[in-house]
Amino acid sequence: MLGLRYIQCFLLLLCSIIVNVHAKSAIGSRTLIVFDDRVDDLSNYSNFFNLLKDHEFDITTLELSDKSTKINLFEKDTRLYDNLILFPVKGKLYSKQLAAKKLIHFNEDGGNILALTIPKVSSDPIHLYLNQLGIYPSPRTQSLKDLFQDSNNNNLQFTAKESIENKIIYSNENAEDSIYNFGDSVSAALLDNREQIIPLLKASRTSFTSGNKTREINWTDGTQGYLIAGFQNLVNARSLWLGSVQFLSNEHFKQNLDLINDLIQWNFQEKNIIKVTNVNHYHTESNLSYDELPYKVTDNITYTISLSQWDGSKWIPFITDDLQFELRQVDPYYRITMKPQGVSPIDPQAELYSTGDFKLPNRHGMFTFLTNYQRSGLSFIHQSDVKAIRHLANDEYPRSFEIPNAWVYLASIATVIISFIAFVLFFIATPASVSEGVTTAKKTN
Amino acid sequence: MAPVIQKKKSVASKDDIQKDFMEAINLSISSYKSQVRNNKKLRLIDIFATMLVVIGVFQTAFVGLIQDNYPFNAFLAGFIICVGQFVLLMCLRLQLTHPFEGISKSKAFGEFVVASLILHFTCLHFIN
Amino acid sequence: MSEIAEKIVVPDTAVTANENDTTTQKDGNCVSWIQSSLKTLIFIAIIIASISSRLFAVIRFESIIHEFDPWFNYRATQYLVNNSFKDFLNWFDERTWYPLGRVTGGTLYPGLMTTSAFIWHALRKIGLPVDIRNICVLFAPAFSAITAYVTYKLTCELKDEKAGLLAAAFIGIVPGYISRSVAGSYDNEAIAITLLMATFMFWIKGLKQGSILNSSFAALCYFYMVSAWGGYVFITNLIPFHVFCLILMGRYTSKIYVAYNTWFVIGTIASMQIPFVGFLPIKSNDHMAALGVFCLLQIVALGDFIKAKISEKKFKVIMWVSIILIMIGGIAGLFLLTYLGLIAPWTGRFYSLWDTNYARIHIPIIASVSEHQPITWPAFFLDTHFLIWLFPAAVFLMFMDLKNEHVFIIVYSVLCSYFAGVMVRLMLTLTPVICIAGAVALSKLFDIYLDFSPIFSTKKTGTTKSSVMTVLTRALVSASFIYYLYLFVHHCTWVTQSAYSSPSVVLPSQNRDGSMAIIDDYREAYYWLRMNTDYDAKIASWWDYGYQIGGMADRTTLVDNNTWNNTHIAIVGKAMASPEEVSYELLKEHDVDYVLVIFGGVLGFGGDDINKFLWMIRIAEGIWPEEVKERDFFVNQGEFRVDSQASQTMKKSLMYKMSYHGFPDLFPNGQGQDRVRQQVVTAADVEDLDYFDEVFSSENWLVRIYKLKDLDIEGRDLSDFAEFEKSKNTKRSSNKRPEIDLRV
């Protein structure tokens, strides 16, 4: 009886693992949540934390109202956490511990950050950090309003159809009618046009941010403002900014669940992760690589690249139709869209792409074989390989006897030489003439 | 001995010039004929030289005809070997008709052969 | 050192002694063996002198390759030794001119490398494995010895053996030639002058005898010369010009016909075998003179033949008519061919020979090379000493005794004097003819004044006043000229050791106590590069240092001393002249990792990059007149300043920032004293570098190396990044709306 219980328990555990197994980060699950009790009670977000737990995140929480708390993102040079969730915090004291530079360092080292701001609290480090990324949330005095919306509870709501910007991260395509609730305290942000910024949800056309004072300029007007923005840096670490805390609260959790789930998965690198598993280029005819036989002008070359994508539990082939190869020497000489060739023969988890056969330009020099695939939402792929393409060697031009035109000249040279030999022979055979003086005598020298 | 430096004295009429030319050519040809008639070696040289001219002209005509000098090095090799051999022959001929002091006829011929061989080698190398 | 100086004195006294012998013992047959053995002795002395005087560089510094171009030649030779000859011919060098690469095998003159590789192999065959570097270092002195012998032969053809020996001694130690052939100066000129002399020697011989064989040898030497030096064009024009002059002087003979035609035909086809020369001999205008004279000779030969047959008066008429017809036809043909593009127009370097301002206006890159500047008067004296005033006298003597070969020397001297006046580099070709002419003049002088035989004859009959006077004047003149010779030797030794023996890779300097110190910043920096950077790292520097970086640091360069691509050089010029952010983009586009600048402000070294900066600006302006403007770099008074009055563009430019980065901090109160430009640079003048990191500055700050910062991971501009890094942690976030380009 007891044994059965155990088995039952075990099965249950197994089931839960299996259920949750699809939701796992590609890099790691150590997560630190920083919050401030004075701003909000963490129990309001229990559903959100349960969701994180479902995703198998290993959560540490740190409460900042106690002044003695120390925040260590790094132990010596090793990063202690993979993900960092920053609820709004108050007070100057923490500016030092949670300084923007530390956050940047954490992010540049590969850690993901989820940052939340609200109009009520000005969290300087978070603001400064976001400003460095090119995200400028509205300041403490201003909050987002929309006078056209149902104003009985002051909650701001946005429909997916109008506001969702990025279709790669947002997976629930069918639910275009879903409405997301951001609560009544929302900050909107201006974004600069850096390519790493991924605008995710924009404010409605009728919204604006304004403060209490009348003379203040509106921070955003209409769709200028954004409520959610992602940022992926060059080492593919992801940051996400949310302009509302209530968006995650238990109150609106159910309404926002599908979007929250997408955001968490993207932010903490559970999805939209692609990587290059193998790059190769070789002579098309002989399959010889560059090292075996260096390239020369007008050679026929094939370039292949294999891409995998993380599906939450394992690497699977990544399929797309807009992957481009470039052959550059400062300027691009070729830009070829590569075609998926099916699963890579070497690596079953990757999809093989090939340019097919192409001819190197008739120009020698150092060329870069480049795949630069940067789609906002997906990991950036930048794969480059610089190789020399040499000129034709002196014996690689067609020989004269291979060119019909040259036969004429060859023949004439042969004639000249043969007749020269004949001439020499005859010359020696001919006796010197007797009467030479006749002609020379006339000349006066 | 210094014809180039001398001043132009009178402007001859057109007919005169023509006449002079004809006379000069006739004279030259006749003296040339007598020169050749008496010397078999000279005749041999001249036959060879004529042949070279023919080959050279033929190649140029060929290039003009096909309007394309594509294997340019081959053409050059073919053409220059003709010109070069012709010029060397002329040198030999001059040395045979009026030997320079210090160089006997047989020595001249030897030198001629050496120079020709150098020429042939480079031309063959050029056409590869 | 003094030992060597003494050794150099030896040949000259020996020569004069020999002249004593040869002149006094004209009739004695029994002493001919003494003559020949003395001659051998003199030659050995000359060879020792010419080699040892070139070894100052090795003794004072070390066995090292000098300057810039030799480093490339050395690198190419190493490549040739390590690979096959075929690989060498087809060498594609991907480590220079990034990213274009250079078809090195097809764009160099292989004569020098092939010769030294041949010597290397030959020495190995006989069991003497010598390091290729030593062969390269000692190559030039060895060939200068051969030059001395060839010059002797050439001068013998002109006058006699006495003059020959003098000429050999002169050419052995004359500074004008030593300047390009000291040990370690492993340059094309080292072998080219030898070949130049050899070609002329055979040419004169061939011309004198009308020998096909000698002319063929001249052609082969010419071919060798073509394979070794771009200056072969000089021969290509000089010999036809000589022939042309002879024809104009009415000196046409069959010998000229034989010699010239043989040389031209074999020489032309042979020179086309060199890949770099290719079809130039029949396409470029530089070579047209030779072709023209060739055709002219055929006509003249025909004319000569006809002239012998008909009366002179009629011939004149015929001649004039034909000449006019041919001239018209020829000029029209030349224009037509040039117009149709079949013949390449004259090259820029050629134009600059005629109009010294041409280069400055049209081709800054040619003008920027110091070798292409017009020569200064003192340089003539410095390089040739008393020979320079013997030279006109000798030319006059040549006119007195005008044979064909004398015409050649006259033509050579006149042409070369002009060219040397235009370009410093061509001093090198002038020097041999000065030596030869000087030797001829001097030996003529000695023939008369060193002949003391009258003393003996007059002694028997009793001394008269006149004979004493004769002896006295003779003794006086001879003594003064022997004294001049002594001075000459002294001068040569001094110039050689003080002016021409510096490898320019290491710089000599004096300590406070007067002892000699060596500034070795270049090598320090190049070895730093070699040891601390990635093998594939790309280094951007001004082109002067390209060969050295390639040779010593073994790193990829953007531009080097083979200035074949003006645009590419302009890119580096633009990067140096632009503000940081523009340069950064440009350099990043070309995958540059490090930037190297030469800064002499600390040391007082005048040949640094700031002084070359104007050329960089000019070259860049030639390509991007909108973006780089020379005027912006001057202050209002039209001055080029680097202190606080410098123009804003100047202060913002990358070159300025890199040169003076941290410089004022070396001095008390931040008052940096630039010892080259004698101006004060303060800390306020030098702005921070945001896009570059200083990674290395050599001991005396002569070489400074900067690394391009990586792109910011968060995608910020590096200037914003630097600003953020400087800010304090406690900074409050701003409530001001940011001025940004908004998303659309």
- Model confidence at C16, pLDDT cuts 50, 70, 90, reads very low
Selecting from A128, A224, A390 the residue whose C-beta is nearest the C-beta of C733 gives: A128
Span B58-64, mean pLDDT?
A: 84
Q: Do B73 and A400 touch (CB under 8 A)?
A: yes
pLDDT, position B2: 37
A32 DSSP β-pair partners: A60, A84
pLDDT, position C351: 60
Selecting from B3, B12, B95 the residue whose C-beta is nearest the C-beta of C258 gives: B95
Selecting from C98, C724, C743 the residue whose C-beta is nearest the C-beta of A193 gives: C743
Q: Do A433 and B85 touch (CB under 8 A)?
A: no
Average pLDDT, chain A: 82
Apex C497 CA angle, C496 and C498, nearest 5: 100
Please tell me what DSSP assigns to residue C284: B
pLDDT digits (tens, 9 = 90+) for C241-280: 899 888 888 888 888 888 898 899 888 888 888 888 877 7
Residue C697, classed as helix, strand or coil, is: strand
Asked whether residue C706 carries a pLDDT value surpassing 90, the answer given is: yes
Chain C residues in contact with A122 by the CB 8 A cut-off are 733
Q: Do B39 and A405 touch (CB under 8 A)?
A: no
Chain B residues in contact with C219 by the CB 8 A cut-off are 118
Beta carbons of C318 and C299 less than 8 angstroms apart: no
A226 DSSP β-pair partners: A189, A202
> What are the CA-CA distances from residue C326 to residues C81, C295, C332 (Å)?
52, 10, 10
**Among C524, C496, C561, CA closest to C73:** C561
pLDDT, position C11: 44
Q: Do A409 and B79 touch (CB under 8 A)?
A: yes
Residue of A nearest to C568 (CA): A330
pLDDT digits (tens, 9 = 90+) for C121-151: 999 999 888 888 888 888 888 999 899 999 9
- Model confidence at A212, pLDDT cuts 50, 70, 90, reads confident
- Of B103-112, C24-33, C478-487, the poorest mean pLDDT is in C24-33
Span A314-336, mean pLDDT?
A: 90
- In angstroms and rounded to an integer, the radius of gyration of the C-alpha atoms of chain C is 31
* Separation of alpha carbons A17 and A21, rounded Å: 6
pLDDT, position B12: 47
* Separation of alpha carbons C257 and C198, rounded Å: 21
Q: Do B111 and C211 touch (CB under 8 A)?
A: yes
One domain, residues A223 and A345: no
Q: How many CB atoms lie within 10 A of CB A343?
A: 16
C509 DSSP β-pair partners: C517
Phi, psi of C341 (to 5 degrees): 80, 10
pLDDT, position C119: 92
Residue B10 lies inside a defined structural domain of this protein:
no
- Full DSSP string of chain B: --TTTSPP-----HHHHHHHHHHHHHHHHHHHHHHHHH-HHHHHHHHHHHHHHHHHHHHHHHHHHHT---SHHHHHHHHHHHHHHHHHHHHHHHHHHSPPTT--HHHHHHHHHHHHHHHHHHHHHHH-
- Model confidence at A437, pLDDT cuts 50, 70, 90, reads very low
- Model confidence at C470, pLDDT cuts 50, 70, 90, reads confident
Helix spans in C639-699 (H): 648-652, 654-660
Burial of C72 (0-12, 13-18, 19+ CB in 10 A): buried
pLDDT, position C220: 92
- CA-CA-CA-CA dihedral for A88, A94, A96, A97, to nearest 10: -90
- Model confidence at A16, pLDDT cuts 50, 70, 90, reads very low
Q: Which C positions 66-125 lie with beta carbon below 8 A of chain B? A: none
**Among A262, A232, A230, A227, CA closest to A247:** A227
- Full DSSP string of A166-184: -TTT----S-TT-EEE--S
One domain, residues A147 and A194: yes
pLDDT, position A5: 55
Asked whether residue C284 carries a pLDDT value surpassing 90, the answer given is: no
- E strand residue ranges, C380-530: 507-510, 516-519
Q: What is the pTM of this model?
A: 0.82
Count each helix (H run) and each strand (E run) in chain A, helices first. 9, 24
Q: Do C269 and B16 touch (CB under 8 A)?
A: no
Q: Do C265 and B76 touch (CB under 8 A)?
A: no
Please tell me what DSSP assigns to residue C342: S
Q: Do B74 and A442 touch (CB under 8 A)?
A: no
Helix spans in C90-160 (H): 111-125, 132-158
CA dihedral sign of residues A265, A267, A270, A272 = positive
The residue with tokens 């997906």 is: A378
Q: Do C731 and A124 touch (CB under 8 A)?
A: yes
Structure tokens given for C486: 């002594």
Please tell me what DSSP assigns to residue A192: B
pLDDT, position B28: 75
Average pLDDT, chain C: 81
CA dihedral sign of residues C82, C86, C89, C94 = negative
**Among C695, C681, C657, CA closest to C575:** C657
Q: Which A positions 82-101 lie with beta carbon below 8 A of chain C? A: 92, 95-96, 99-101
**Among C718, C475, C481, C678, CA closest to C584:** C718
Q: Subunits with at least 3 CB pairs below 8 A relative to chain A?
A: B, C
Q: Which residues contact C650 (CB under 8 A, 6 or more apart)?
A: C632, C633, C641, C642, C656
- Model confidence at C350, pLDDT cuts 50, 70, 90, reads low
Q: Subunits with at least 3 CB pairs below 8 A relative to chain C?
A: A, B
Chain C residues in contact with A442 by the CB 8 A cut-off are 308-309
Span B66-81, mean pLDDT?
A: 80
- Model confidence at A239, pLDDT cuts 50, 70, 90, reads very high
- Domain count for chain B, please give it: 1
One domain, residues A282 and A219: no
Asked whether residue A445 carries a pLDDT value surpassing 60, the answer given is: no
Chain A residues in contact with C86 by the CB 8 A cut-off are 393-395
pLDDT, position A88: 85
Residue A83 lies inside a defined structural domain of this protein:
yes
Beta carbons of C543 and C653 less than 8 angstroms apart: no
pLDDT, position A353: 92
Question: A296-315 b/e with 16+ CB inside 10 Å = b?
Answer: bbebebbbbbbbbbbebeeb
pLDDT, position C199: 92
Q: Do C711 and A234 touch (CB under 8 A)?
A: yes
**Domain end among A339, A357, A389:** A389
CA dihedral sign of residues C69, C75, C80, C86 = negative
Q: Do C742 and A134 touch (CB under 8 A)?
A: no
- Model confidence at C404, pLDDT cuts 50, 70, 90, reads confident
One domain, residues A84 and A109: yes
**Among A394, A390, A297, CA closest to C86:** A394
Asked whether residue A442 carries a pLDDT value surpassing 50, the answer given is: no
Residue A354 lies inside a defined structural domain of this protein:
yes
- Domain count for chain A, please give it: 3
One domain, residues A178 and A129: yes
One domain, residues A117 and A140: yes
> Please, where in chain C does CATH 3.40.50.12610 lie?
519-711+718-723
One domain, residues A188 and A320: no
Beta-strand pair A238-242/A112-116: parallel
* Separation of alpha carbons C8 and C491, rounded Å: 11
Residue A207, classed as helix, strand or coil, is: strand
CATH architecture of the domain with residue range C519-711+718-723: 3-Layer(aba) Sandwich (3.40)
Residue of B nearest to A422 (CA): B48
Contacts of C140-143 with CB under 8 Å at 24 or more apart are C140/C54, C140/C180, C140/C181, C140/C182, C140/C183, C140/C184, C140/C185, C140/C186, C140/C187, C140/C190, C141/C50, C141/C51, C141/C54, C141/C55, C141/C181, C141/C182, C141/C183, C142/C51, C143/C181, C143/C190, C143/C191, C143/C193, C143/C194
pLDDT digits (tens, 9 = 90+) for C532-586: 998 989 999 998 888 889 888 889 998 888 878 888 888 999 999 899 888 998 9
One domain, residues A341 and A226: no
pLDDT digits (tens, 9 = 90+) for C636-657: 777 788 888 888 888 888 999 8
What percent of chain A shows pLDDT beyond 90? 15
* Separation of alpha carbons C314 and A273, rounded Å: 99
One domain, residues A262 and A279: no
- Model confidence at C596, pLDDT cuts 50, 70, 90, reads very high
Q: Do C309 and B28 touch (CB under 8 A)?
A: yes
Q: Do A391 and C733 touch (CB under 8 A)?
A: no
* Separation of alpha carbons C64 and C52, rounded Å: 16
pLDDT, position A302: 92
**Better-scored residue on pLDDT, C294 or A96:** C294
Asked whether residue C15 carries a pLDDT value surpassing 60, the answer given is: no
* Separation of alpha carbons A344 and A347, rounded Å: 5
* Separation of alpha carbons A80 and A29, rounded Å: 11
Beta-strand pair A238-242/A226-232: antiparallel
Asked whether residue A20 carries a pLDDT value surpassing 70, the answer given is: no
Between the ranges C4-18, C60-74, C323-337, where is the mean pLDDT highest? Answer: C60-74
Residue B88 lies inside a defined structural domain of this protein:
yes
Q: Do C714 and A128 touch (CB under 8 A)?
A: no
ipTM of model over 0.90: no
pLDDT, position C618: 87
Apex C245 CA angle, C244 and C248, nearest 5: 90
Asked whether residue B6 carries a pLDDT value surpassing 50, the answer given is: no
Q: From the CA of C516, how many Å to the nearest CA of chain B?
A: 54
Phi, psi of A86 (to 5 degrees): -110, 105
Q: Do A391 and C92 touch (CB under 8 A)?
A: yes
Q: Do B20 and C317 touch (CB under 8 A)?
A: yes
Asked whether residue A17 carries a pLDDT value surpassing 70, the answer given is: no
Residue type, C236: T
pLDDT digits (tens, 9 = 90+) for C211-232: 888 889 999 999 999 998 888 8
pLDDT, position C372: 66
Residue B44 lies inside a defined structural domain of this protein:
yes
Interface of B with A (CB under 8 A): 31, 34-35, 38-42, 44-45, 48, 51-52, 55, 58-59, 62, 66, 68, 70-71, 73-75, 77-79, 81-82, 85, 97-98, 105, 109, 113, 116, 120, 123-124, 127-128
- Model confidence at C198, pLDDT cuts 50, 70, 90, reads very high
Structural domain range at position B67: 40-127
- Model confidence at A102, pLDDT cuts 50, 70, 90, reads confident
pLDDT digits (tens, 9 = 90+) for A165-192: 877 888 766 667 788 888 888 888 888 8
On whether any CB of chain B is under 8 Å from the CB of C128, the answer is no
Residue A1 lies inside a defined structural domain of this protein:
no
Q: From the CA of C159, how many Å to the nearest CA of chain B?
A: 19
| Domain CATH number, residue A162 | 3.40.50
* Separation of alpha carbons A343 and A349, rounded Å: 7
Residue B9 lies inside a defined structural domain of this protein:
no
Asked whether residue A65 carries a pLDDT value surpassing 80, the answer given is: no
Beta carbons of A422 and B18 less than 8 angstroms apart: no
Structure tokens given for A71: 């925040």
* Separation of alpha carbons A110 and A358, rounded Å: 37
pLDDT, position A173: 66
pLDDT digits (tens, 9 = 90+) for C718-740: 888 888 888 776 666 666 777 77
Beta carbons of A251 and A216 less than 8 angstroms apart: no
Asked whether residue A370 carries a pLDDT value surpassing 60, the answer given is: yes
**Domain end among A267, A284, A300:** A267
pLDDT, position C20: 44
Chain C residues in contact with A203 by the CB 8 A cut-off are none
- E strand residue ranges, A295-399: 300-310, 315-317, 324-329, 331-337, 339-343, 351-359, 365-373, 381-389
Beta carbons of C501 and C60 less than 8 angstroms apart: yes
**Domain end among A211, A238, A267:** A267
* Separation of alpha carbons A430 and B41, rounded Å: 7
* Separation of alpha carbons C96 and A97, rounded Å: 50
One domain, residues A254 and A280: no
Chain C residues in contact with B12 by the CB 8 A cut-off are 317
Structural domain range at position A405: 400-430
* Separation of alpha carbons C636 and C639, rounded Å: 7
Residue type, A169: I
What percent of chain A shows pLDDT beyond 70? 89
* H-run or E-run covering C244: helix C232-248
What percent of chain C shows pLDDT beyond 90? 8
Q: Which A positions 301-330 lie with beta carbon below 8 A of chain C? A: 329-330
> What are the CA-CA distances from residue A211 to residues A59, A123, A207 (Å)?
36, 17, 13
The size of the A-C interface in CB pairs under 8 A is 124
| Domain CATH number, residue A362 | 2.70.50.60
